[in-house]
Protein backbone atom coordinates (compact mmCIF):
# COMPACT_ATOMS: atom_id res chain seq x y z
CA UNK A 1 0.00 0.00 0.00
CA UNK A 2 2.83 2.36 0.86
CA UNK A 3 4.44 1.77 -2.52
CA UNK A 4 1.21 2.54 -4.31
CA UNK A 5 0.84 5.85 -2.51
CA UNK A 6 4.46 6.75 -3.26
CA UNK A 7 3.99 5.81 -6.91
CA UNK A 8 0.76 7.85 -7.21
CA UNK A 9 2.37 10.86 -5.49
CA UNK A 10 5.38 10.61 -7.81
CA UNK A 11 3.12 10.28 -10.82
CA UNK A 12 1.11 13.34 -9.79
CA UNK A 13 4.28 15.39 -9.14
CA UNK A 14 5.78 14.34 -12.47
CA UNK A 15 2.57 15.24 -14.27
CA UNK A 16 2.43 18.71 -12.73
CA UNK A 17 6.08 19.45 -13.43
CA UNK A 18 5.90 17.94 -16.90
CA UNK A 19 2.88 19.95 -17.93
CA UNK A 20 4.52 23.18 -16.87
CA UNK A 21 7.68 22.41 -18.83
CA UNK A 22 5.57 21.04 -21.67
CA UNK A 23 3.50 24.20 -21.91
CA UNK A 24 6.59 26.40 -22.05
CA UNK A 25 8.11 24.21 -24.76
CA UNK A 26 4.81 24.24 -26.64
CA UNK A 27 4.69 28.03 -26.55
CA UNK A 28 8.26 28.23 -27.90
CA UNK A 29 7.44 25.86 -30.75
CA UNK A 30 4.25 27.76 -31.51
CA UNK A 31 6.10 31.08 -31.67
CA UNK A 32 8.79 29.62 -33.94
CA UNK A 33 6.16 28.15 -36.27
CA UNK A 34 4.39 31.50 -36.50
CA UNK A 35 7.63 33.26 -37.37
CA UNK A 36 8.39 30.74 -40.10
CA UNK A 37 4.87 30.96 -41.54
CA UNK A 38 5.06 34.77 -41.69
CA UNK A 39 8.29 34.69 -43.68
CA UNK A 40 7.61 36.09 -47.20
CA UNK A 41 9.68 33.37 -48.89
CA UNK A 42 7.65 30.65 -47.16
CA UNK A 43 4.39 32.36 -48.08
CA UNK A 44 5.41 32.62 -51.73
CA UNK A 45 6.45 28.98 -51.83
CA UNK A 46 3.14 27.96 -50.24
CA UNK A 47 1.10 29.98 -52.72
CA UNK A 48 3.08 28.59 -55.66
CA UNK A 49 2.58 25.03 -54.44
CA UNK A 50 -1.15 25.63 -53.96
CA UNK A 51 -1.52 27.10 -57.45
CA UNK A 52 0.42 24.21 -59.01
CA UNK A 53 -1.74 21.74 -57.11
CA UNK A 54 -4.93 23.41 -58.34
CA UNK A 55 -3.71 23.32 -61.94
CA UNK A 56 -2.72 19.65 -61.66
CA UNK A 57 -6.03 18.73 -60.06
CA UNK A 58 -7.95 20.55 -62.80
CA UNK A 59 -6.05 18.75 -65.55
CA UNK A 60 -6.52 15.39 -63.83
CA UNK A 61 -10.23 16.06 -63.34
CA UNK A 62 -10.78 16.86 -67.01
CA UNK A 63 -8.72 13.87 -68.13
CA UNK A 64 -10.53 11.42 -65.88
CA UNK A 65 -13.99 12.82 -66.47
CA UNK A 66 -13.45 12.63 -70.24
CA UNK A 67 -12.46 8.98 -70.05
CA UNK A 68 -15.13 7.99 -67.57
CA UNK A 69 -17.92 9.68 -69.48
CA UNK A 70 -17.40 7.17 -72.30
CA UNK A 71 -17.69 4.22 -69.91
CA UNK A 72 -20.86 5.15 -68.02
CA UNK A 73 -24.33 4.81 -69.51
CA UNK A 74 -25.68 7.90 -71.28
CA UNK A 75 -28.50 8.24 -68.74
CA UNK A 76 -26.02 8.51 -65.87
CA UNK A 77 -23.83 11.01 -67.73
CA UNK A 78 -26.90 13.15 -68.51
CA UNK A 79 -27.98 13.04 -64.86
CA UNK A 80 -24.53 14.19 -63.69
CA UNK A 81 -24.54 17.05 -66.21
CA UNK A 82 -27.98 18.19 -65.07
CA UNK A 83 -26.91 18.09 -61.42
CA UNK A 84 -23.84 20.20 -62.22
CA UNK A 85 -25.94 22.76 -64.04
CA UNK A 86 -28.50 22.87 -61.26
CA UNK A 87 -25.88 23.45 -58.55
CA UNK A 88 -24.91 26.72 -60.28
CA UNK A 89 -21.46 27.03 -58.79
CA UNK A 90 -20.27 30.03 -60.83
CA UNK A 91 -16.47 30.00 -61.18
CA UNK A 92 -15.86 27.21 -58.69
CA UNK A 93 -14.66 23.78 -59.66
CA UNK A 94 -15.94 20.51 -58.18
CA UNK A 95 -13.61 20.85 -55.19
CA UNK A 96 -15.16 24.14 -54.07
CA UNK A 97 -12.14 26.23 -55.00
CA UNK A 98 -11.91 29.14 -57.39
CA UNK A 99 -9.32 29.81 -60.04
CA UNK A 100 -7.56 32.77 -58.49
Which tens digits make up the pLDDT trace of 27-78? 887 888 889 889 999 899 989 999 999 888 888 877 777 777 677 787 777 8
Distance (Å, rounded) from C-alpha 55 to C-alpha 95? 12
Looking at the predicted structure, is the pLDDT value of residue 97 above 90? no
CB 57 within 8 Å of CB 65: no
| Side-chain half-sphere CA neighbours of 9 within 13 A | 6
Q: Which residues contact 36 (CB under 8 A, 6 or more apart)?
A: 42
Range with the lowest mean pLDDT among 2-16, 30-44, 79-93? Answer: 79-93
pTM: 0.43
Looking at the predicted structure, is the pLDDT value of residue 99 above 60? no
Amino acid sequence: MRYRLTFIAGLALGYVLGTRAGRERYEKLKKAAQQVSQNPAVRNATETAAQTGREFAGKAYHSVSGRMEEKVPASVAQRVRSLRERSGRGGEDDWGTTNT
